[in-house]
Copies of this chain bind each other. A is one copy, B any other.
Amino acid sequence: MANINKVAIVGGTHGNEYSGIYLLRQWQKHAESVNRPSFDTTLLMANPHAYENNTRYVDSDLNRQFLLHLLQDEGLNNTEQRLAKQINQQLGPRGQASTDLIIDLHNTTSNMGPSLILLQSDEFNLRMAGYLKMQMPEAVIVMEVDVPLEKQPYLCAIAQQGVIVEIGPQPQSVLRHDVLDWMQTMTMHLLDYVELYNTHSLPDLPDVIEAFTYTETLKLPEDEHGERLGMVHRNVQDRDFQPVQPGEPIIALFDGGEICWHGDYEAYPHFINEAAYYDNNLAMSMAKKISLPIP
């Protein structure tokens, strides 16, 4: 792959995920912390309207608006659809983007710790994961590579390379000191990685790292009127990336019953009881733990 010449760090894609928003403010005052010799860094506050309203989004989830056919549909012009088109002009356009790498900063209410979500498993991404685990062993690598990049609706997918920094637990509209520090630390390592990658100066990386590869999403049970019949079971609450065996309870029903994990594999739940996924009635995502070879 060619060098990374232009990097964009994006915060506020969701207006009530505060860590990235506050870090952007700091970095705007101290550009030296995000600048590196071999590439240009742009800082972008993605959805100031949502932040002003202290909400995830005004009309629709900005981070689901970046598929090519949505960006090209001139009939779509609510707040976030318009924003998506603007951002696509600024950092993209998708397919021939001026930005080589987008780092999009997110928070989750789930206890996911400092997670890095990769959307591709090419050499650039895998070495990034290897470097990050070496520098920050507590980091969690999540592979969302079940669909190709061009089918990912995320903001960061408009560049040739895009990653999501996803750190929790942090309630919406709250700024936690520990979560902010994790995000700052991880972002610095990612920028350092790009610099080392560009200058062919990477240290020896581990042969293999632990990672989690997304498999499926579980919904909360509903009745025929769409009313929820249960909630995430206390046995899995806060236990993101801890193993769940087939037959173990994962949902507590309000009538006193339980729903158990019905898959045929040891699953690693994450995004457990994420507040923002209540719109869609999602309970958690599942993953498999893998040993990821680093090229």
Contact = CB atoms under 8 A, between A and B. Distances in A.
Q: Is the interface of A mostly helix, strand, loop or mixed?
A: loop
21 contacts: A22-B254, A25-B254, A26-B254, A54-B278, A55-B55, A109-B174, A172-B173, A173-B275, A173-B276, A174-B273, A174-B275, A174-B278, A175-B273, A176-B231, A176-B232, A176-B234, A177-B233, A177-B252, A178-B234, A178-B237, A180-B231
A173 B237 contact: no
A186 to B, nearest CB: 17
A206 interface: no
A107 to B, nearest CB: 10
B180 A275 contact: no
A260 to B, nearest CB: 15
A171 B237 contact: no
A144 B273 CA distance: 32
Enumerate the 5 nearest inter-chain pairs by beta-carbon distance, A residue then B residue, closest first: A171-B171, A177-B234, A109-B171, A173-B275, A175-B231
How many residues of A sit at the interface, in one of the four size bands? 20 to 34
Contacts of A26: 254
B176 A237 contact: yes
Contacts of A22: 228, 231, 254
A172 B172 contact: yes
A167 to B, nearest CB: 14
Contacts of A233: 177
A278 B176 contact: no
Given A54-B278, A254-B22, A232 B273 contact: no
Contact of A176 (B25, B181, B273, B274): B273
Nearest to A273: B174
A278 B16 CA distance: 11
A25 B225 CA distance: 14
A22 B278 CA distance: 14
Nearest to A235: B177
A9 B21 CA distance: 39
Contacts of A109: 171, 174
A266 to B, nearest CB: 22
A137 B71 CA distance: 57
Nearest to A22: B254
Contact of A232 (B172, B177, B254, B279): B177
